[in-house]
Structure formats: C-alpha cells, structure tokens
C-alpha cells in the first residue's frame, strides 16, 4: 500500500525528472526545491554537478540543509520571480519539481521568460508537476480535477498559495521566448507529467 501511496508516487516523479544525460560538472539550477528531496537524490547520482537552489521559504531551506549539504550545493533564499542573476550565470539545466503548479498563469509565463534568459544555448528546462485535467479524459479527468481542487483549497488555506488552478504548461513559447518544447511528455504516474524544453 505504502509503495503505491501518493507521496511515494511524487518521489517517483522527482526521480524521473532527473533522468537526463548532463555534461560533466554541469551547472544546475533548481527552483522551488522545498525540503531537498530532489537534490538529495540527484546529488548522490551525480556528485560532480554544481547546484544552485532557489527557494523562497527559509523553513524549507533549513529542512533541505538538514537533508543534504555539500560544497557543490548553494542554497539561496529568494523569490525566483524577482531573481536577477547578476553574475550572468548560464545554466546547463533548470529543474522545477512541483514548482510551476504554485504559480498563477501570469507568473508562470514570467518564470519561463526568466528561465529562457539564464539557460545556456542548448540547455534544458525540465519540470515535473500535476497533469492538467484538460489534457485527460473520462474518469481520470474527473478524479484529477477533484484531487487538484482539494490540493489548491488546502494550500490556499495553509500556505496562502496565489494560484487556484494549474497554469497552461503547453502554451507555445517558441514565438515569444527562446525555449522550444520537446514533444515527448513523460508520465511517471497517471496524474503526473514531466515536460522538457530546450534553449535554442
Ligand atoms: C509545491 S512545493 C514543491 C516542493 C518540492 N520541490 C517538492 O518536490 O516537494 C513548491 C515550492 O516552491 C517554493 N516557491 C513557491 N514560489 C516560489 C518562488 N516564487 N520562488 C522560489 N520558490 C518558490 C515554495 O516555498 C515550495 O517550497
């Protein structure tokens, strides 16, 4: 039962998210890392990578530091929507584990634009999040809508979450931004989606 639980499946999503070939000593950004479960897993597999973690909650950063600390991992408490990379750092990859679902559509687009500026040419943006019920059908669509309604209600009450529905992840960014979406979305669990974009 535990094996199939919601939380176990979320962790399965984080593990799938990292399934990618990255150059040796690549520079990686994680946005909205929370309590460190994604980076703890990924750093174990690839200790050569340099990680920058941007997370707006000091409490979450403290939890993440308890889970994983390394000279290869820098934690930065900041709101990514106001983040300016003064060093002009170019990242090989940006990962967003369950981050975009926290954002209203307008801020999702703002975040995509900022990511497109800080990725290297050929760099990768990868996200794992909840599947949009509008992309599902039948009973799956109904169940996903119910789960998301409950989750958004819960997080609005407990964490003053700004969003009340998923942003449209599938919008075409190629015209306005320099990111192009790779068509093959992945589904690590029926209610999760992993999408990948590359910087032109
Ligand atoms: C749904 S949680 C996901 C946490 C974690 N990545 C996971 O896999 O469980 C979203 C995280 O994004 C952080 N966050 C929300 N808005 C943010 C922003 N504008 N800038 C940086 N972090 C943000 C929240 O504090 C929270 O830890």
What CATH number did the domain enclosing 7 receive?
Answer: 3.40.50.150
pLDDT at 131: 95
158 in any annotated domain: no
Measured CA to CA in angstroms, residue 102 lies from 34, 65, 130, 166, 178 at distances of 12, 22, 11, 8, 23
Domain count, the chain: 1
Residues with CB under 6 A from ligand 1: 14, 31-34, 37-38, 54-57, 60, 79-81, 97-99, 102
For residue 138, report the distance from its CA to the centre of ligand 1, in Å: 30
pLDDT tier at 89, thresholds 50, 70, 90: confident
Enclosing domain of residue 6: 2-132+163-199
pLDDT at 13: 93
Q: DSSP E strands: which ranges in the chain?
A: 27-31, 50-55, 73-77, 91-97, 119-130, 179-181, 192-199
Task: State pTM to two decimals.
Answer: 0.93
pLDDT tier at 2, thresholds 50, 70, 90: very low
For residue 142, report the distance from its CA to the centre of ligand 1, in Å: 26
82 in any annotated domain: yes
120 in any annotated domain: yes
For residue 37, report the distance from its CA to the centre of ligand 1, in Å: 12
121 in any annotated domain: yes
Average pLDDT, the chain: 90
Over the stretch 143-182, which tens digit does the pLDDT of each residue have?
Answer: 999 999 999 999 888 888 888 899 988 765 555 578 888 8
CA angle 121, 101, 117 (to 5 degrees): 20
Q: Which of these ranges, 40-44, 86-90, 105-109, has the smallest mean pLDDT?
A: 86-90
Q: Are 65 and 37 in contact (CB under 8 A)?
A: no
Over the stretch 94-120, which tens digit does the pLDDT of each residue have?
Answer: 999 999 999 999 999 899 989 988 999
Asked if residue 1 has pLDDT above 50, the reply is: no
Asked if residue 15 has pLDDT above 90, the reply is: yes
175 in any annotated domain: yes
The stretch 80-84 carries a mean pLDDT of 89
190 in any annotated domain: yes
151 in any annotated domain: no
The stretch 76-103 carries a mean pLDDT of 90
144 in any annotated domain: no
């Amino acid at each position: 039962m535990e094996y199939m639980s919601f939380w176990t499946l979320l962790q399965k999503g984080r593990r799938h998210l990292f399934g990618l070939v990255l150059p040796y000593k690549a520079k990686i950004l994680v946005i909205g890392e929370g309590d460190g479960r994604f980076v703890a897993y990924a750093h174990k597999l690839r200790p050569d990578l340099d990680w920058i973690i941007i997370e707006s909650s000091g409490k979450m950063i403290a939890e993440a530091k308890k889970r994983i600390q390394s000279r290869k991992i820098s934690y930065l408490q900041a709101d990514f929507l106001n983040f300016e990379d003064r060093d002009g750092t170019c990242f090989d990859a940006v990962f967003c584990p369950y981050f975009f679902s926290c954002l209203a559509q307008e801020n999702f687009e703002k975040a995509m634009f900022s990511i497109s500026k800080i990725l290297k040419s050929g760099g990768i943006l990868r996200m794992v999040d909840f599947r949009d019920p509008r992309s599902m059908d039948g009973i799956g669509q109904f169940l996903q809508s119910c789960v998301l309604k409950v989750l958004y209600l819960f997080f609005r009450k407990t964490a003053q979450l700004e969003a009340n529905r998923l942003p449209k992840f599938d919008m075409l960014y190629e015209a306005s931004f320099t990111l192009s979406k790779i068509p093959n979305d992945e589904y690590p669990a029926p209610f999760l989606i992993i999408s990948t974009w590359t910087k032109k």
